[in-house]
Structure formats: C-alpha cells, structure tokens
Amino acid sequence: MPIAHSADGAQLYYESHGRGPALLLLAGQCCDHREWTRVAQDFATQFQVIVWDYRGTGQSDKPPAPAYSTRGFAADAIAVLDDLEVAQAHVYGISMGGRVAQWLAIDHPHRLRALVLGATTPGNAHGVQRPAAVDKALRSADVVALLETSFTPAWIAANRALADEIAALWAAPLPAHARRLHYQASEDHNAWDNLPGITHPTLVIHGTDDQVNLTSNAHLLAQRIAGAELHLLPGARHGYFEEMREASFAAVRDFLLRHSG
C-alpha cells in the first residue's frame, strides 16, 4: 500500500495511475481519493494521475491534533509528490481542494506546472459566503441536502444509481474530530493577500448555479490571479465535474495539455 509520510509523521495514503505529465487531484472537504474515481479514469489516458487521502480521511492517519489547515494539507501534498519522486505536477483542486491548491502555488511554486481551481473561493474574509442553510448542511453532513444542492434534480433522477453511490461516499464514517477539523480548515482559509503572487498558468472553472461556493468567487479568483482564465459551466452546480463530466473534463484537459510542453 503506497504511503507517504508528512513532516509531522502522519501517514498519507495515495494512488498513481496512468502515464504522462503528472497531475495531482485534490478532493473536497471531508472527502478522500474516491471522490475523483471517474474523473481520474478520464485523465489517466493522458496523464500520470495522483490521488490521495487527506489526513483525517480514507486510509490516511486521522490525528486529533494539531488543527488542520488548507496550508497544512498543501504541505502534506508535497510529501506525496516527494514519495513518488515527482518534481513538478499540474494541480487540480475542487472546493476545499481548490483552497489547498492555492497554497501549493503560493508556498511551493517550483513544484507546480499549471493550476486549476474548481468550484472554490479565496476564503470567507474576502469571498462571497454560501447561504446559511447550505452551510448548515455542510457542517452537519446532511447528505440528502448536499446531494440536492450539488446536482440538479434532473441529473439525480437520470443517474439515480450514481447519485446514491456519491451519497454513500459522503456518508462514509469519519471520526467526529476529523469532520470538525476539515470544516474548520476550509472555513479558516484565507489566501487573498498571496493570490497576486501566483504566476502559474491558472484556470478557474465553476458552475453558474453553485450554491455551496457561490459563482461570484470564481470571478474574484480570476481577477486576483494575473492572467487566469475563467471557464463557467452554464446551469452547473457544485458537482459540475460529475454532472457535466464530459464538458468539464475537456476544458481542463485542453488547458493542461497547452501547458505540458
């Protein structure tokens, strides 16, 4: 079982699939590498796809202290790249993973090639916060409410088996302390002052109907990072990478291939 070790000794589970330019995928809050299963298969035809479990999730260690942070998760991600002896990688993060990706670009710029920020925000201090009802569902892990918020009713009805599979993944047992620490790490994120220092090719991709991380945040990120490209998916919600898998995959793939020279 492939295991990397963080600076503080935490064991971090990871997987690597495919061949080509390295691509590190960063999942959302409280999610492990399985959130990327179908999308990772798409990318593995042209990239070395690296997925991993944040501390607190999946097969990685779940220490109750110290406090987790998006910056700390970024340092853990570097431990994974080091264990694989990957000098540089494209990085694609969704939701909280997009916040972690920001710190990777800021703190470890020489390890990144291109950056993709999906359905994410610059942090609550300067970003646009989600509706209170959605935040309550996220904080309490109300899977039914989160599913209905993340996907359109039409998609859920047409993909009932997959929707149930996603819901089961979100409902997977997670220690209470880990769920709390993940939520707080995501809520405490604030990279606003550092974003202008990002010089990597950057794609900001977001659904126009996202209620978990409101679409206004995509515009803020694109304005804050010089040269960033903004790609909006009409009608998509927070789970755009599943509901509009083909279109979002094509947009990200084409962007990354342009910067894989």
Phi, psi (degrees; rounded to nearest 5) at 20: 130, -165
pLDDT of residue 173: 82
User: Six-digit token pair at 126?
Assistant: 């300067």
Residues 72-98 pLDDT 10s: 999 999 999 999 999 999 999 999 999
- Collapsing DSSP to helix, strand or coil, 64 comes out as coil
Question: With left for phi above 0 and alpha for psi between -120 and 50, is residue 40 left, alpha or beta?
Answer: alpha
**Which residues does residue 51 pair with via DSSP β-bridges, in sequence order?**
15
User: Six-digit token pair at 48?
Assistant: 């070395």
pLDDT of residue 138: 84
Torsion angle, CA of 211/213/218/220, rounded to 10 degrees?
Answer: 110
Provide the residue type at 87 as one letter.
Answer: A
Q: Span 177-194, mean pLDDT?
A: 96
Predicted structure pTM score:
0.97
- Collapsing DSSP to helix, strand or coil, 203 comes out as strand
In the chain, the percentage of residues whose pLDDT exceeds 70 is 100
In this predicted structure, the answer to whether residue 160 has a pLDDT above a threshold of 90 is yes
The residues near 204 (Cβ < 8 Å, ≥ 6 apart) are 117, 218, 221, 222, 225, 228, 229, 230, 231
CATH 3.40.50.1820 corresponds to the domain 3-258: yes
**Which residues does residue 12 pair with via DSSP β-bridges, in sequence order?**
4
Residues 238-251 pLDDT 10s: 999 999 999 999 99
Sign of CA dihedral 97, 241, 18, 62: positive
In the chain, what are the domain boundaries?
A: 3-258
- Interatomic CA distance for residues 206 and 216, integer angstroms: 9
**Under a CB-based contact definition with an 8 Å cutoff, are residues 107 and 75 in contact?**
yes
- Listed in order, strand segments (DSSP E) in 62-111 are 89-94
137 confidence band (pLDDT: 50, 70, 90): confident
In this predicted structure, the answer to whether residue 232 has a pLDDT above a threshold of 90 is yes
Check residue 244 and report its DSSP letter: T
pLDDT of residue 94: 98
The residues near 250 (Cβ < 8 Å, ≥ 6 apart) are none
